[in-house]
Structure 1
Amino acid sequence: MCADYLLELASQLEFETVSACDTRDILEQLLESLAEHSAVTDIPVDEVVLANLHLALHQLDAIARGRGRPAINIPFHVIEGYLLHGFNVKEISELFGVTRQTIHRRMNDNGLRKSDVYSALTQEELDAVIGEIQQSHPHTGYRMMKSFLQARGLLVQTTRVRDSLRRIDPIGTEVRALANRTLRRRQYSVPAPNAMWHIDGNHKLIRWRFLVHGGIDGFSRLIVYLSAATNNRAATVLEAFIGAVNKYGLPSRVRSDKGGENMEVAQFMVESRGENRDSHITGRSVHNQRIERLWRDVYIQVLDQFHILFSNLEREGMLNPDDEGHLFALHWAFLPQLRRQLAFFMDAWNLHGLRTAGSQSPYQLWASSRHHEDPDQVEADYGIDWEGPYGFDDLGHQAGQVEVPQVQLQRHLTEEDMARLPDPNVHFMDAIDIYKATLQQLMQPRSEVDEGGSDA
């Protein structure tokens, strides 16, 4: 909505229906409002947005003084940030509407070359980092591995990443190469970023009452949110959705299945975007292929290791999914782990190059294509990839509304009880110990717990 308003304001300024002075006052008020919102919500304002608004104010000042269009001074840290996100000089110049020479000149003024932003890791150090990442993400190809590194703040040349993977995992590299040569690419079309978001829930870990809620921008394939929860409530889905809106802006339309967990998002979209325009489109999960395709990668890269671990705990008699105490301990130990793994995957995914988009990343596509027209009305099949993958839940039928009961312990845990629980913020390999310690504490009689606390 803010972006639409600014575009309308720019149009009014172009046709002189509003003065440069009034426009400047409006932008100053907008900056103040953004600062207040950031202070209240503790959500930082995007530095690129602030830089563009200050640049607009600078230009308006020059117009008011009769100097014509001023020299554009793009903040150096903004250029550096875009380079670290994988943008090249040509793409940065197009974002700001300047020539490549302007960007090169700004880089030269600050002694920056593109090669300077690459990591100086030695071959041995790079192999060690990639080997560590591959332990948690064993099916990762070189594009995604490069993005995992980037999510850790390490920008590494593609050739170095590919060569490292060949040294570490030669067989897996050949298998992935063969699979890529036989993969059939699908066609999909929406006009612009934020034209259509696809949202859905993933139930691969529902046996242990874990659910994953996700949303993806249809145009750019940018993951806008990926969250783990132990419930399937509509309020939980809306909270994740609004968090994404605060970060990436309000989409024009949303597509989801007809599950009840999406009802509050549907209401939010109709209230925000209006009625009788398909602000929220529902249908069978087989028509939401954009995110169904994403779930395959989420499972391979993240959920599979949790599924294997929990299944092994069951086989060894250490976990009973019908025991409320076991589930509480499992959630306490592994929910933070699952959330961290999903966040890491999301950061890497949004930075990885897409073959079908000239190796541009989802973030690059989202950031560089945001000024296209969005249709006022759409057809019923808008945002459907008819040749895309079908979406099925673990039970073998199309996923609908899924009820997930809240864990009910035999005794209520007080604040003191919760404070005594072991800290779950540990390395993934140590999470089983947290699970065991939590379970042992839950099984301890209240009297023993109180005595132990008094002895301390």
Structure 2
Amino acid sequence: MHHCVQYFNEGHSYAVIVDMMSSLHGVNISLRTLKSKLNEAGLYRRKDYSSPNAVRNAIRSELRGPGQLFGYRSMWQVLKQKYNLRVKRDDVMNFLRELNPRGCENRARRRFTRRTYHSMGPNYMWHADGYDKLKPFGLAISGCIDGFSRKVWWLECGPTNNNPTVIAHYFMSCVRNLGVIPMRLRTDCGTENGIMAAIQCTLRHHHSDYYSGASSHMYGSSMNNQRIESWWSIFRKGRSQFWMELFADLRDAGYFNGSHEHQCLLRYCFGDVLQKDLDECVKLWNSHRIRPSRTAACPGGVPHELYYLPHRFGSRDCGFRIEQAELDALPEASLSMTPCGDPHMQEYLDSAMEHSQLQKPENWESASELYMRLKEMAHL
């Protein structure tokens, strides 16, 4: 009888309960006998419904958690199985309309509810991350963006974005130029962010706010680093897709095979041109107007204006001034690697350029020509 009650509360039909008792437990019972035993236990499908107050209280309890996402069918099932309540499905629908009207409206419109990004103001949180879409071609990009203003602080291309010293150099250069450090810094859990995180926490250790010291840096998954991940999507549509297709064409035509030598050569020829394009991208982005969004807590506007004039948007600068003496006390994070990533290849290619009196490329067309010329000269 215990199993019959369990299957009844799970919502199985009478015929299914009879079949399950026979198939799973070896108990043969007729449909009439099953109904009789369930009635003796006070279990009915269409009478002895639970009180409206009990149903309301159970629904309110569910609405305080993930149950706020349930439709009336899911809520009806939860009420039956979790709370052992007997209630009509239409009544559950009416209770939900009463207790969670906004959720019902959103489900009726099939509207996806996005998370809202919150920021107190400029320099409240910087988001740093690496961009790996060009890594198969030997080009690694690192970027950082201010969460409130969406102002891009750096967008640098080089042989690697996995070297902690390289990332720390980008961060230190930015902080030195601004004379400000953010209240908080967010990165993913990669080892390349270790030195940068240590610098941030060290420079913030003597402050007395809630996020001072170790709390000033926040690790999290790359997917949840919301601001920079969103910006990478925009960056791909407006910039990097061109370079991805250009380098893929070289690969598909047989001029690039992914070897170390080919990656060094591609970096040597395209690195400066790509960096020039990235600098232009940052300049245009920081001076363009971001439209207001109903789903965002941060205001719309021009990133430059949002950052430097927060009072115009009802906000304030959350950063902390840093003296040069504090920065000078830290070990200098310098870039020790050559632009192409290999000192021997760099020396050889520089010599070949000088011997053949070749000029540095100014755009992607001349970079492509230089790549083909040097590839032929080096027999790569």
Task: Say whether the 8 Å CA contact 2:123–2:317 is kept in structure 1.
Answer: no
Structure 1 Cα separation of the partners of residues 224 and 304 of structure 2: 24
Who is 1:235 aligned against? 165
Who is 1:365 aligned against? 306
Structure 2 Cα separation of the partners of residues 312 and 183 of structure 1: 38
Equivalent runs, 1:194-205 vs 2, <5 Å = 194-205=123-134
Cα distance, 1:408–1:243 mapped onto 2, change above 3 Å: closer
AA aligned to 1:301 is G
Q: Which moved more, 1:208-217 or 1:419-428?
A: 419-428
Q: Runs of 5+ in structure 1 lacking a partner?
A: 1-181, 377-404, 445-456
What TM-score, normalized by structure 1, do the two folds share?
A: 0.47
The RMSD of aligned alpha carbons is 2.9
Task: Say whether the 8 Å CA contact 1:334–1:424 is kept in structure 2.
Answer: no
Equivalent runs, 1:349-388 vs 2, <5 Å = 349-356=285-292, 359-369=300-310, 372=316, 374=318
Task: Say whether the 8 Å CA contact 2:353–2:359 is kept in structure 1.
Answer: no
Who is 2:362 aligned against? 426
% identity of equivalent residues: 26
AA aligned to 1:350 is N
Greater C-alpha Rg:
2
Alignment of 1:245 with 2:175, yes or no, is: yes
Who is 2:348 aligned against? 413
In the TM superposition, residue 239 of structure 1 has moved relative to its aligned partner by 1.5
In the TM superposition, residue 260 of structure 1 has moved relative to its aligned partner by 0.9
Structure 2 Cα separation of the partners of residues 244 and 417 of structure 1: 35
AA aligned to 1:234 is P
Cα distance, 1:317–1:375 mapped onto 2, change above 3 Å: closer
Per-residue Cα deviation, 1:262-292 (whole angstroms, up to 9, x for no partner)? 1110111011111645121111112201000
Which segments of structure 1 move beyond 3 Å, counting only runs of 4 or more? 182-186, 373-376, 405-412, 414-422
Task: Say whether the 8 Å CA contact 1:234–1:264 is kept in structure 2.
Answer: yes
Who is 2:326 aligned against? none
2:194 equivalent among 250, 258, 263: 263
Structure 1 Cα separation of the partners of residues 114 and 372 of structure 2: 46
Who is 1:288 aligned against? 225
Equivalent runs, 1:274-285 vs 2, <5 Å = 274=205, 276-285=213-222
AA aligned to 2:303 is P
Cα distance, 1:332–1:277 mapped onto 2, change above 3 Å: closer
Structure 2 Cα separation of the partners of residues 416 and 439 of structure 1: 14
AA aligned to 2:232 is W
What TM-score, normalized by structure 2, do the two folds share?
A: 0.56
AA aligned to 2:316 is H
Who is 1:347 aligned against? 283
Structure 2 Cα separation of the partners of residues 426 and 375 of structure 1: 38
AA aligned to 2:362 is V
Task: Say whether the 8 Å CA contact 2:127–2:145 is kept in structure 1.
Answer: yes
Cα distance, 1:187–1:287 mapped onto 2, change above 3 Å: same
AA aligned to 2:219 is T
Cα distance, 1:226–1:184 mapped onto 2, change above 3 Å: farther
Q: Runs of 5+ in structure 2 lacking a partner?
A: 1-110, 206-211, 293-297, 321-339
Structure 2 Cα separation of the partners of residues 293 and 226 of structure 1: 15
